[in-house]
Structure 1
Amino acid sequence: MIAAETLAALLIGAGALAAAARLVLALRGWRGWALAALSLASGALLTLALFPPRLPIGGETLLVATADTASGTRGGPGERLVALPEAPRLAGAERVPDLATALRRYPQVRRIRVLGRGLTARDRDADAGLPVEFRPLPPPRGLVRLDPPADTTAGSAFVLAGEAAGLAGGTAELLDPAGRRVDSRAIGGEGSFTLGGTARTPGLARFTLRLRGRDRAIVSDTPVPLRTLAERPLRVLLIGAPSPEAKYLRRWLEDAGAELKSSLAAGGGIDLGGEGARLDPGAQREADVVVIDDTALAGIGVGGRAALARAVADGLGVVVRMTGPATAGTRSGWRALGLSVEGGSDIAPVALAPRAPDPNALTARRGPGTEDVPGTLNTIDDPAPDLGRWVLRAGPDLVPAVSDADGALVAGWQQHGEGRVALWALANSFALVLSGEADRYEQWWSETLSAVARPDSRFRPEAPALVQVGERMAVCGIGSAARLRRPDGQEVPLAIDPDAGAGGCAATWPSAPGVHTIVQAARGGEQVFAFLVLPEGALRTVRADEDAAATTRWAAEQGAPAARGVPERRGPAWPWFLGWLAISGALWFAERRFRAVTAAG
């Protein structure tokens, strides 16, 4: 059914159009068109006089000052200025503990304008229910994004990434806990960089990310936590034929402390593995990873591959090592394990990145030499070996585990049930050992095996990787009796949020920097998980950029249709009535005048 307002507007519009058409036809020339325009204006003003436009009730704008708000900020007419705790001192601003408090105090506010860097997570938890305007400031000079390294096993390489603003042409350096430079990279025009090193002693270590400007001056030093895990020995089954690849892989696994069982069939019933390993269901249940070459995989037959695929679905990791070009039958065997890859018949050179940016970084990364392998045996100036890789074509489900300096795939894995299957496409990786690059060889194999190995059951709660003093942090995956042990040894219980469901989540606000430990009782003792709390302000520029991006998204959501509607009322009708009266009078007078002139003519 048509609303009364719409019906009246249609009738008035139709009448105004009919009158305008009559005037144009009765009075030729500009006089008729002028009177027609007055007739249409009279109809529009009559509609507005009967149904005045709606106006918002109140209309006051709330100016919300956050970090880095300009010191000269003042509220204008119809604006109310409030300052959140992180905002600087502002003349005439009222201090409020949070945005929700300000909205409760001033219910007449109908718009919000956020000033400065943006709202922190404290004020973005809930919708404001009002339109919000926010124009982010330019990113602060310095570190604006930091992706810390993931938990790393001892002896493996770790990687961290970040982004810096205003430091194009500068450098990013990674310093170990002793202050020695481990890695260094130039900061490009986009500001992104990637650094890496080697995890050594199990435990929690504090590295430092140092940013330098174009003039080599230090801009910032940011603590970066690294958790190095002391995992139980990796249980590996090595299946294949005797070859240099198998020889050096077996030697590295033994030196790395893996629980290795191997079967290297030389033909004629001769097995050079020595351990009498068999790829039966019992061995598959006990192993963490099976490393098998493509020839041995083809030799176990359809039934053997089906049994191995079932073991992968239950959590076993498998690495298929290519020893020659792939055929259609080879790829069919891979697909039986859940690995969808095409190609593999052509070979291409492997691009190797420099061992380190300089000799000092290489020494720090390798660690002290030994009598058998002194630190001066292989230097940064030694030529890189010639390596080849089988060229593969894979879909988005294949995740790279190792890539060369040009981003080409060296090893990649694909999920299959609870486990993973990886493909090692390096044709002659043992050449790395023979040419003095055993550290790169070990790193690549460590990354591949770590990516697919059966997961362990260690106590590892979900906690933010970067935490500052005073910031709220949520910890999930803990029990009801979990406690937080502070650096001074005091312990406080962690209260599980009942609304978090089965996740076992609690919140805490660390009040001091240093190593904090989550402790909870378990069978046979206590389970502990340590994490590093950074000093207040250590991530100031990172948090500023994060708050700006998050506030921009939050403000856009407040302007969405789901936001609470603004109360409105009809505006005054008398201005529109006076306008209609004036236009109608002018129309009446002009029509009589023009008709008289036309009759006299």
Structure 2
Amino acid sequence: MPDAQTLVALLIVAGALLAAVRLLLLRRRGWAGGALAALSLASGALLWCTLFPPLLPVGGETLVVATAETPPDFRADPGERLVALPEAPTLAGAERIPDLATALRRHGQVQQLQIIGRGLTARDRDADAGLSTRFDPLPLPRGLARLDPPADTPAGGLFALGGAANGMEGGSAELLDPAGRVVDSRVIGADGAFTLGGAARAPGLTTFTLRLRGRDKALVSDTPVPLRTLAAPQPLRVAVIGSPSPEVKYLRRWAEDAGFDLGASLNAGAGVDLGGGVRLDAASLRETDVVIIDDTALGTLGGGGRGALAQAVAGGLGVVVRMTGPASAAARSQWRALGLTVEGGTEAAPVALPPLAPDADALAALRGPGSADAPTGLNTLEDPVPELGLWTIRAGSQLVPAVTDAEGALVAGWQHRGQGRVLLWTLPESFALVLSGQSDRYAQWWSKALSAVARPDRQFRPALAPLVQTGERMAICGLAEGARITAPDGAETALAIDPAAGAAGCAAFWPKVAGVHTIIQPDEEAEERFDFLVLPDGALPTVRAAETGAATMLWAARQNAPSARTLPERRGPAWPWLLGWLALSAALWWGERRLRNAGA
């Protein structure tokens, strides 16, 4: 259905045409009737412009937005309106505003933006302004311009941190441990980049110090750097279910050598279980990370066993379904119940194996000096590769490849179900890799498969920014209802989970004091805790200045993109068109009356 503006236009056109035709028929000869008909059409156009004045571009006023480190003596030029954000200094003639969005609402007539000072904070970069924007970042001050803190490191492992300093060529970067001892140092080159490292000791959160010194050894800055050292992870809990076979034999041997907490249920018939038995109830499956089950054993579980397995997968369990033969329609239906949707699986194809190493020297380096169990001459580049086959399957984009051969054929792939994953292993006789001297490839492929589906790390490790300062908004994800934060001064803050975050479980937090904060989250058994360090305000001045300037440059470029360069428009005044329409209507009335009198 046409909108109101279109309907009004149709009515005006119809009325003007009808009036023009009537005036032409009123007097068929002479020019008077034609002139009045033309005036009638013009009257209709003026009426349209009165009801819907033409759009006019907004005036060319520029909104100048002052941010941090704006020169105190800055003055706006004619045609500019100066506003100051909360972090800007006191400026003569500037209007104080709480944020950029408020300024845009108050001054809707502006056509351009100019950002002066250090740049917009994250508060004002959340939304686009839709106006042409100019921003010239200030030069960075001398000091630490970039800091890449170390990742979480296992106890006893080595960690590394990187960074860059501005204006400090010839100076030095030093890493100090919590006791104040220098554990590493580097000379800063022309590009300012440096990398430092050390060893992680006892599990927990510790604070190292990054110290910058100038060319004259004078102290420039001390920056706290948090390091989280992780305790040794618990062994992976794996259950192998199936029938006794060479494949299961070598799979169990590899799992035991890898240090897994292994359980097995191997049905030899007549009620004999050679593996010791594995229970598939809800309680046992909650204590298991990965279940490796062959397709035959899955079919004999029964509806109750498969249902318990599917429910455990939704709760985070990883399941590996190992194909021992061609897939039947019933088998594929059982896989779908677990969360694995594939087609095919009835045809076999050869496996293309890549070479063991690029050359003999690389293979020797990979193998090491050898031992009695694995002599150096066991594997050579000249050894024939084993002839292996896999069952070819067809799946959509939901299936994620975990292991592929040299030509990209799928050896193993997984799909999500709830919080867990189900993987299909299509290589029925992978143990032949071990028999042909390629045990490393066998271990690598099975390690990739189990790593892809194993239950997530049981340690409570929410996701948050590595460097946080007081007064800055931060996002924390991986939370559940009831989570709270305890500050160093003992104050507790309940975290409100954002419903829009969905399963990510994210909440916002504004730390007020520096020091170690603790995230506390209720669990089924006990409360889980996670410590993180909040740096004092101003601990990273040059880093934050660089980040703010770069982010504001990107924001301004987005405003200046061709798709965003539409100038704001508004309706022009209607009164000039109204006066014109009234004058022309009066002329039409007078002319039509004269024409009628002359015809009489």
TM-score by length of 2: 0.57
* Residue in structure 2 matched with residue 289 of structure 1 by the alignment: 290
> Once structures 1 and 2 are overlaid, which stretch shifts more, 532-541 or 307-316?
532-541
Change (3 A) 1:81 1:315: same
Contact 2:423 2:449 in 1 (8 A): yes
* Residue in structure 2 matched with residue 475 of structure 1 by the alignment: 476
SS in 2 for 1:482: strand
- Opposite residue 326 of structure 1, the aligned amino acid is A
Once the two structures are superposed, what CA deviation does each residue of 1:59-92 show, in whole Å capped at 9, x if it has no partner? 675546699xxxxxx99986536587999xxxx9
* Structure 1: runs of 5+ lacking an equivalent: 68-73, 138-147, 155-177, 180-200, 206-222, 485-489
- Opposite residue 108 of structure 2, the aligned amino acid is V
- Opposite residue 485 of structure 2, the aligned amino acid is A
Distance in 2 between the 1:405 and 1:227 partners?
A: 38
Q: How does 1:48-127 map to 2 (within 5 A)?
A: 53=53, 63=63, 80=81, 98-100=99-101, 102-103=103-104, 107-110=106-109, 113=112, 121-123=122-124
SS in 2 for 1:339: coil
Instruction: Give the C-alpha shift of residue 232 in structure 1.
Output: 1.8
SS in 1 for 2:335: helix
* Residue in structure 1 matched with residue 236 of structure 2 by the alignment: 234
Distance in 1 between the 2:400 and 2:150 partners?
A: 18
Q: How does 1:549-560 map to 2 (within 5 A)?
A: none
Contact 2:321 2:424 in 1 (8 A): yes
Distance in 2 between the 1:439 and 1:541 partners?
A: 49
Distance in 1 between the 2:399 and 2:414 partners?
A: 5
Instruction: Give the C-alpha shift of residue 291 in structure 1.
Output: 0.8
Matched, 1:20 2:20: yes
Change (3 A) 1:467 1:229: same
Contact 2:120 2:552 in 1 (8 A): no
Distance in 2 between the 1:537 and 1:368 partners?
A: 50
* Residue in structure 1 matched with residue 340 of structure 2 by the alignment: 339
Contact 1:46 1:580 in 2 (8 A): no
Instruction: Give the C-alpha shift of residue 239 in structure 1.
Output: 2.0
Distance in 1 between the 2:377 and 2:531 partners?
A: 39
TM-score by length of 1: 0.57
Matched, 1:394 2:392: no
SS in 1 for 2:345: strand
* Structure 2: runs of 5+ lacking an equivalent: 68-74, 136-148, 156-183, 186-201, 207-224
Matched, 1:495 2:479: no
| Residue from 108, 132, 136 that aligns with 2:130 | 132
Contact 1:66 1:119 in 2 (8 A): no
Once the two structures are superposed, what CA deviation does each residue of 1:367-397 show, in whole Å capped at 9, x if it has no partner? 9988679999999989995654322123455
Instruction: Give the C-alpha shift of residue 343 in structure 1.
Output: 0.8
- Opposite residue 323 of structure 1, the aligned amino acid is T
| Residue from 247, 250, 262 that aligns with 1:248 | 250
Distance in 1 between the 2:579 and 2:591 partners?
A: 18
Q: How does 1:152-171 map to 2 (within 5 A)?
A: none
Contact 2:47 2:577 in 1 (8 A): no
Change (3 A) 1:518 1:57: same
* Residue in structure 2 matched with residue 571 of structure 1 by the alignment: 573
SS in 1 for 2:241: strand
SS in 1 for 2:493: coil
Distance in 1 between the 2:533 and 2:244 partners?
A: 45
SS in 2 for 1:495: strand
Change (3 A) 1:317 1:373: same
* Residue in structure 1 matched with residue 212 of structure 2 by the alignment: none
* Residue in structure 2 matched with residue 429 of structure 1 by the alignment: 430
Q: How does 1:310-459 map to 2 (within 5 A)?
A: 311-312=312-313, 316-350=317-351, 388-395=389-396, 397-403=398-404, 408-416=409-417, 419-430=420-431, 433=434, 441-455=442-456, 457-459=458-460
* Residue in structure 1 matched with residue 509 of structure 2 by the alignment: 507
Instruction: Give the C-alpha shift of residue 344 in structure 1.
Output: 0.8
Once the two structures are superposed, what CA deviation does each residue of 1:333-363 show, in whole Å capped at 9, x if it has no partner? 4345443322111233556789899999999
Contact 2:468 2:533 in 1 (8 A): no
SS in 2 for 1:326: coil
Percent identical pairs in the alignment equals 50
Distance in 1 between the 2:311 and 2:62 partners?
A: 62
* Residue in structure 2 matched with residue 42 of structure 1 by the alignment: 43
Once the two structures are superposed, what CA deviation does each residue of 1:383-412 show, in whole Å capped at 9, x if it has no partner? 995654322123455444445566654323
- Opposite residue 298 of structure 2, the aligned amino acid is L
Distance in 2 between the 1:228 and 1:402 partners?
A: 29
Contact 1:317 1:419 in 2 (8 A): yes
Once the two structures are superposed, what CA deviation does each residue of 1:527-573 show, in whole Å capped at 9, x if it has no partner? 335589995478779856975798799x98x999xxxx98x8x8362
- Opposite residue 571 of structure 1, the aligned amino acid is P
Contact 2:113 2:131 in 1 (8 A): yes
- Opposite residue 460 of structure 1, the aligned amino acid is R
* Residue in structure 1 matched with residue 217 of structure 2 by the alignment: none
Instruction: Give the C-alpha shift of residue 238 in structure 1.
Output: 1.1
Distance in 1 between the 2:355 and 2:152 partners?
A: 25
Distance in 2 between the 1:550 and 1:13 partners?
A: 43
Contact 2:130 2:559 in 1 (8 A): no
- Opposite residue 53 of structure 1, the aligned amino acid is P
Distance in 2 between the 1:12 and 1:397 partners?
A: 58
Change (3 A) 1:575 1:284: closer
- Opposite residue 389 of structure 1, the aligned amino acid is L
Instruction: Give the C-alpha shift of residue 258 in structure 1.
Output: 1.2
Distance in 2 between the 1:356 and 1:136 partners?
A: 55
Contact 1:313 1:416 in 2 (8 A): yes
SS in 2 for 1:246: helix
Change (3 A) 1:93 1:19: same
- Opposite residue 256 of structure 2, the aligned amino acid is E
Q: How does 1:179-194 map to 2 (within 5 A)?
A: none
Once the two structures are superposed, what CA deviation does each residue of 1:19-44 show, in whole Å capped at 9, x if it has no partner? 42145444569986565333311343
Change (3 A) 1:521 1:345: closer
Distance in 2 between the 1:493 and 1:294 partners?
A: 55
- Opposite residue 17 of structure 2, the aligned amino acid is L
Contact 1:482 1:520 in 2 (8 A): yes
Q: How does 1:251-270 map to 2 (within 5 A)?
A: 251-265=253-267
Distance in 1 between the 2:527 and 2:347 partners?
A: 55
Change (3 A) 1:38 1:519: closer
Distance in 2 between the 1:85 and 1:285 partners?
A: 52
- Opposite residue 99 of structure 1, the aligned amino acid is L
Question: How many correspondences in the alignment?
Answer: 496
